[in-house]
Structure 1
Amino acid sequence: ELVMRTLSRLFKHLFTTGLASRRAFPNATLQDIQTVIAEGERQHRAEVRMIIEPSLSAQAVLSGMSSRERACELFSDYRIWDTEENCGVLVYINLADHQVEIVADRGVGRVIAAKDWTAICNSMTRGFAHGDFHDGVLAALRQLNTLLQQHYPDDGSRQNQLSDRPLML
């Protein structure tokens, strides 16, 4: 059973290529994502970074790496934790696993409940399940911005510390 699940997951990752990412997230969608992130960051103090990855390496899949573990690794690798108020938020999308993960730094993580992050992830994956990547991701980002504005409002001291442009790996 475990071997079959691992092989099935491995094939999904081997056959989900960068082309799948570009189809799901064409340049116009990436630009709209950047715009929504920037608009939100004018209303709250958090720093939102989105990373989209078509698939994991075969080695990562065979070692059992989860999307959550990968998101935490990228949170560190891209120094999303390295913000003035510990306010970095990573939205990670793994297309092969059909997973969305949010990793929040401790400043933001203290004020927002895990169930709220989960609701945003679920909102995004519901849109993805219907092939609606553009509207699904934008609606979830707006939901995220509203949540951050309620719990981490702008106080006028904010400087943009992380790129608003989504990163396609």
Structure 2
Amino acid sequence: MKHTIKTITGIAALEGQWLRRRHFDEEVLAHVAERIKQSESSHTGELVLAIEATMPSHEKDPHLRALEVYGRLRVWDTPLNSGVLLYLALDKKAIEIIADRGIQVPQAQWQQVCARLEARLAKADYIEGLLSAVDDIELILKAHAPQGDTEADVLPNDPVLL
């Protein structure tokens, strides 16, 4: 109910914009991009982080929006089908992970990563929470990404602000 009132009044959108400006500046994003780059040197997975301050009005469901972003950012476009999207909708306080078909991981494992990140963000531990989530995803990809050239870096490492 509380979140619905925030959404109806527009406070959630303002809060999402404020969170993005306050916690995701260029320095933080560069640090996260470097961590993603380091992570990808140990497996064939390709991680893309997308941070959306305010979800568009045409899509109310964060999971469906994450699927849309996954497609628009072409996370699926990797030689080994090893793209992974970590999607944050700040206004909805939603976190989603979408993995390509080359990454065979039980959904419960992705949900654990999301739950840990959500707990960190609730404590305003944004930078370390994101870095920890990248580390968690790295461990999963080391175990489940297809074998291949770990030197290939197909997708951009810089977080995408939507």
- Do residues 80 (structure 1) and 75 (structure 2) align? yes
* Cα deviation code 1:114-165 (max 9, x no counterpart): 1110011111111000011011110111011011112226643641110000
- In 2, Cα distance between equivalents of 1:8 and 1:29: 27
**Structure 1 length normalisation: TM-score?**
0.86
- In 2, Cα distance between equivalents of 1:114 and 1:104: 10
* Cα deviation code 1:80-132 (max 9, x no counterpart): 11111111100000111111100111111xx2111110011111111000011
- In 1, Cα distance between equivalents of 2:89 and 2:139: 24
Match of 2:125 among 126, 132, 148: 132
* Structure 2: runs of 5 or more not aligned: none
Match of 1:107 among 102, 111, 117: 102
CA 1:160–1:69: 2 relative to 1, 3 Å: same
The correspondence of residues 21-36 of structure 1 with structure 2, limited to 5 A, is 21-36=20-35
Identity %: 27
Verify the 8 A CA contact 1:13 1:56 in the aligned structure 2.
no
**Structure 2 length normalisation: TM-score?**
0.90
- Do residues 118 (structure 1) and 116 (structure 2) align? no
Name which of structure 1's ranges 35-44 and 17-26 shifts more when overlaid on structure 2: 17-26
- Do residues 8 (structure 1) and 19 (structure 2) align? no
The correspondence of residues 40-55 of structure 1 with structure 2, limited to 5 A, is 40-55=39-54
- In 1, Cα distance between equivalents of 2:120 and 2:3: 25
Runs of 4+ aligned structure 1 residues displaced above 6 Å come to none
Residue identity in the other structure for 2:120: G
- Matched length: 161
Partner residue, 2:92? 97
Verify the 8 A CA contact 1:50 1:92 in the aligned structure 2.
yes
